[in-house]
Amino acid sequence: MSQLAAIEVVTAATHLMRAGQWAAATDLLTATTTDDPAERALLALARAEVAVDHDFGQQTNHAAATLEAALAAVPGDSWDLAILKFRQDYASALFRSGGKNLRERVLTLIEEAPDDGRRGTANLWAGAMADNVYEQPAEAIEYYQTALELGEKCDDEWLIAMALRHLGYHAHAAGDLALARTQWERSTELLQNAGYLRPTLAQQAMLAVLLRDEGDAAGSRALATEVNRWARQLGIPFIIQETAELIA
C-alpha cells in the first residue's frame, strides 16, 4: 500500500479545491486513512474546508456533516474550525437566512487569532459580514484595510487579493473607476497566480462591469461571455447570473 504524509494529501486537495474540483478533493481526503490523531484532525479539517468552499461556490449544503465530523476529530478550541463554522453561517445569512451571533463571533476570532495571517482572514470575513449582512460599508472598509495590511505583512496572496477585491468594489461604488481598476486588476492577478479559479472568475466578472462603466460595451460583453462559460462549467450560480446580465 502506498503511503503519503497527511499534509501532502491536504496540499493536493487544497489545489483541487482552488480549481473548483470539490468532489475530487473530497474523494482524495476521504480515501486517505491514518492512525495518527493529529493527522486525522488535519484531514477532517481539510474535508470541512472543502465542503464550506463548495457550499459557498454552488450554494449547496455539504458542510454540516463535515463540520460535525471535524468537531469530533479536532480540539474544541480550534481557531481554524471556528472560522470555518463562521464562514458557513455567514454563507447561510447571505444566501438564505439566519446567521448565529456573527458579530460577536468574528470579534472573538479577531481577538484570538494565533497569528497575523489568521487575524487578517478574520478581518476579511468581518468586512464581508459588515458589508453584506449588516450593510455597514464604512465599518466594512476598515476591516478590509486591516486585512490588506496584514496580508501584505504575511505575503498572503489570497488575503491581499480578496481585500483588494472588496476595496475595489467600494472604490467603484464611489465612482473612482481608476482606483477600482488598479485594485481589481491586482486582485485578479494574485488570484490567478495562486490558482483560485472561482474567485478569479468572480473578479473577472467585476472587471466586465468596470469595462461597461468605462464605456467599452463590446469589451464588457466579450469578457462576460468567457467568464459565463467557465462559471457554467463549474456551476457557480451568482457568477452565471451576473455575467448573463452583462451579455444581454
Whether 69 has a pLDDT exceeding 60, the answer reads yes
1 — pLDDT class (breaks 50, 70, 90): very low
Kindly state the average pLDDT of the residues 66-77: 90
Whether 138 has a pLDDT exceeding 70, the answer reads yes
What is the per-residue pLDDT across 78-126, written as a single tens digit (0 to 9) for each? 999 999 999 999 999 988 766 668 999 999 999 999 999 999 999 999 9
Q: How far is CA 102 from CA 42, 79, 84, 141, 149, in A?
A: 25, 15, 12, 17, 23
pTM across the whole model? 0.93
What CA dihedral angle connects 217, 208, 244 and 227, to 10 degrees? Answer: 130
Surface-to-core class of residue 69, CB atoms within 10 Å of its CB (0-12 exposed, 13-18 middle, 19+ buried): middle
The Cα 231–Cα 233 span in angstroms is 5
Kindly state the average pLDDT of the residues 187-207: 96
Q: In this predicted structure, what is the pLDDT of residue 97?
A: 67
Residue count (the chain): 248
The Cα 189–Cα 195 span in angstroms is 10
Surface-to-core class of residue 153, CB atoms within 10 Å of its CB (0-12 exposed, 13-18 middle, 19+ buried): middle
Whether 185 has a pLDDT exceeding 90, the answer reads yes
What is the per-residue pLDDT across 20-50, written as a single tens digit (0 to 9) for each? 999 999 999 999 999 999 999 999 999 999 9
Whether 134 has a pLDDT exceeding 70, the answer reads yes
Whether 2 has a pLDDT exceeding 70, the answer reads no
Kindly state the average pLDDT of the residues 172-184: 98
